[in-house]
Amino acid sequence: MKIFFYFLSLLLLVALIWNSHFLLGNILMTIQIPIFLFATFVFISRRKKLKKFHNVFFICTFLVFLNFGYNYIRGFHFTTNEVKQNKEVTILTYNLFFKNKYKQNILNEIISTKPDILLVQELTYQWNNELQKKLSKIYKYKKISQRKGTHGFGVFSKYPITETKYLKNINKLPFCQINKIKVGKEELIVSNIHLASPAKAIENPKDFYDLYEKIYNLREKEWAKINLYLNKNFSNKNILLCGDFNTMKVEPLYNHIRQDWSDLFHEKGEGFSYTFPNSSKIPFPIITLDYIMYKGKIQPIKAEVLKQSSSDHFAVFGTIKI
């Protein structure tokens, strides 16, 4: 028993010290709540017979609890009142799934919500044809980069799109579409992103660790490139960052992003934030990969995950004021 508590304490300390590591950070974020509950149970059940190794474990658990509280509170970014926000804008971000053969379900969701700005990832030629046919009367403005596979992007807007820029990976494939959109007198920078997917690691369990680490590092580099570009060119603008981050909330990269960006669902979400997977093998989604984040003088109003989807992802619908 003594060895077990010392081992658990050592694991917590190592994870705290190297919490930016893709694996140790995942472990820490995943176990911190169960560990705190376990420590509480031990304290209550053995409070008259506590040993030295219990105290070491409690100290480590307390440090983990402080780390959890710090990360949670840091995720809140309070809206400035310097400028009155009076223009309401709705946003919908959707990973369409490039292999999706049942498009009508998604088309119905888009048509029923009619967001002011629609952002889609994995936009193939077939998907683009369907969207153009069904949405031409709703959206006057659009910027499209249709492709085979997972690197297609599209933005459909009720407001003028004045400029579009693509950030590309080492294979010259886009992972981010950055759009300037004129909303009345205000300019809104809307970034449509699709970071590197860990799917290849999941499909190759024998090489999972090496592949996952490689893809995680690639995601970090892609995020750094996006963040650098936006900060350099739009430091004083209202910015939305939407799409498939392929990053769970337990990953260190998510906490890193939240240092400077507000998560709309974290601030104003209704219901559960889980967006993946939508599969017949699992009755409901269990992780969050899709987000709407923001920076600038933006007032968060609402966020929700739509309940219907024929993609492997569910869509995120949000409302803000600028």
- Tokens coding 229: 């570009």
Angle at Cα 73 formed by Cα 178 and Cα 91, nearest 5°?
Answer: 30
Res. 90 pLDDT band, cuts 50 70 90: very high
pLDDT tens-digit series, residues 94-109: 999 999 989 999 999 9
Strands 269-270 and 299-305: parallel
Domain shared by 150 and 218, yes or no: yes
Please choose, from the candidates 280, 283, 263, 275, the residue with its C-alpha nearest in 3D space to the C-alpha of residue 316: 275
Domain shared by 142 and 242, yes or no: yes
pLDDT, position 77: 58
- Give the global pTM: 0.81
pLDDT tens-digit series, residues 206-248: 998 899 899 999 999 999 999 999 999 998 899 999 999 999 9
Last residue of a domain, one of 74, 96, 120: 74
Q: For the domain that residue 205 is a member of, what is the CATH number?
A: 3.60.10.10
pLDDT, position 146: 96
Last residue of a domain, one of 74, 104, 129: 74
Domain shared by 67 and 166, yes or no: no
Last residue of a domain, one of 50, 74, 98: 74
Domain count, the chain: 2
**Residue 243 belongs to some domain of the structure:** yes
- How far are the Cα atoms of 45, 123, 174 from residue 147, in angstroms, in the given order? 60, 6, 10
Note the maximum CA span of the chain: 72
Res. 29 pLDDT band, cuts 50 70 90: low
pLDDT, position 92: 98
Q: Which residues contact 37 (CB under 8 A, 6 or more apart)?
A: none
Residue 48's domain spans which residues?
A: 2-74
Domain shared by 29 and 132, yes or no: no
